[in-house]
């Protein structure tokens, strides 16, 4: 029977060695969602495919239907995002965004909004004027929205009242902001009893709301102190870890990169 061929465009999320010379790729596509495919012979020095199926590459693929996994028969790079590859920190953030997409996506489930976001974010990462840490926070909030976990930042997650501009609480278990009264007196009535509720500064809340409701072209102009950026990062990391029920490998890689850079500056 003749092979059934089809074409897709995809971003390479992950790759692992397979057999003696092949690569198993995890791909993210606009129409088919996340999928896995085999790039036969991709680890051979003579392979014409290898350069077109690197991590984070936006590529056009021709695939043949296989019994268990489809096989990549042709690959052509659309965009290799070369500017981001010139900076190790930005490569680290690309790993992080790819791992987020991978962990929050089910195979075969289309999510074009997330695909478009990821594609734009890889371009933004390569632009030296963009703060990669701020971009990561913007990306996290958009991704959470597109996969159905948008945190509630405008109303108390328990009583539904509009959040006032004061020091409030945030609970990943409950799904968002708790006003001080509910956090202090209603814990036993809140989902999971909001055991993880922590105080959230007014400045951090404003930043979270701004990133959640603005486009990147506007949000990238934010200038934040390291303290506020760290508070926002820690909150979103708790929220993501709660929903994934695991830590992400790339987070540790980024921490090591930052620690190394800090040591380098002090030397």
Domains of the chain and any CATH numbers: 5-80 (2.40.50.140), 83-151+194-266 (1.20.1440.120)
How high is the mean pLDDT of the chain?
91
Indicate whether 51 pLDDT > 80.
Answer: no
The three-class DSSP label of residue 189 is: helix
Q: What is the pTM of this model?
A: 0.92
C-alpha to C-alpha distances, 50 to 46, 47, 59, nearest whole angstrom: 9, 6, 11
The per-residue pLDDT for range 205-214, each reduced to its tens digit, is: 999 999 999 9
- pLDDT category of residue 123 using cuts at 50, 70 and 90: very high
Task: Give the count of beta carbons closer than 10 Å to the beta carbon of residue 170.
Answer: 28
Rounded Cα distance between 178 and 229, Å, is 21
Contact of 6 with 66, CB cutoff 8 Å: no
Query: What is the pLDDT at residue 1?
Result: 40
pLDDT (tens digit per residue) in 133-186: 999 999 999 999 999 999 999 999 999 999 999 999 999 999 999 999 999 888
Alpha-carbon gap, residue 264 to 261, rounded angstroms: 5
Neighbour tally for 90: CB within 10 Å: 22
User: At which residue do the structure tokens 């992400």 appear?
Assistant: 248
């Amino acid at each position: 029977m003749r092979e059934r061929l089809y074409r897709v465009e995809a971003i390479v999320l992950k790759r692992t060695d397979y057999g003696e010379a092949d690569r198993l790729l995890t791909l993210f596509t606009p129409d088919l969602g996340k999928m896995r495919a085999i790039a036969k012979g991709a680890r051979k020095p003579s392979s014409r495919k290898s350069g077109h199926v690197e991590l984070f590459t936006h590529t056009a693929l021709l695939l043949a239907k296989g019994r268990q996994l489809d096989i990549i028969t042709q690959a052509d790079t659309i965009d290799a995002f070369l500017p981001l590859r010139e900076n190790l920190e930005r490569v680290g953030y690309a790993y992080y965004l790819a791992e987020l997409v991978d962990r929050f996506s089910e195979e075969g489930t289309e999510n074009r909004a997330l695909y478009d976001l990821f594609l734009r974010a890889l371009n933004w990462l390569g632009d030296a004027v963009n703060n990669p840490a701020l971009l990561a926070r913007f990306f996290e909030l958009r991704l959470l929205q597109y996969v159905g976990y948008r945190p509630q930042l405008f109303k108390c997650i328990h009583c539904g009242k509009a959040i006032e501009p004061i020091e409030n609480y945030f609970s990943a278990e409950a799904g968002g902001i708790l006003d001080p009264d509910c956090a202090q007196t209603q814990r036993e009535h809140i989902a999971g009893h909001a055991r993880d509720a922590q105080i959230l500064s007014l400045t951090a809340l404003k930043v979270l709301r701004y990133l959640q409701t603005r486009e990147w072209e506007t949000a990238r102009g934010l200038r934040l102190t390291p303290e506020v950026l760290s508070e926002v990062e820690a909150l979103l990391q708790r929220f993501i870890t709660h929903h994934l029920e695991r830590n992400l490998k790339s987070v540790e890689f980024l921490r090591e990169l930052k620690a190394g850079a800090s040591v380098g500056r002090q030397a």
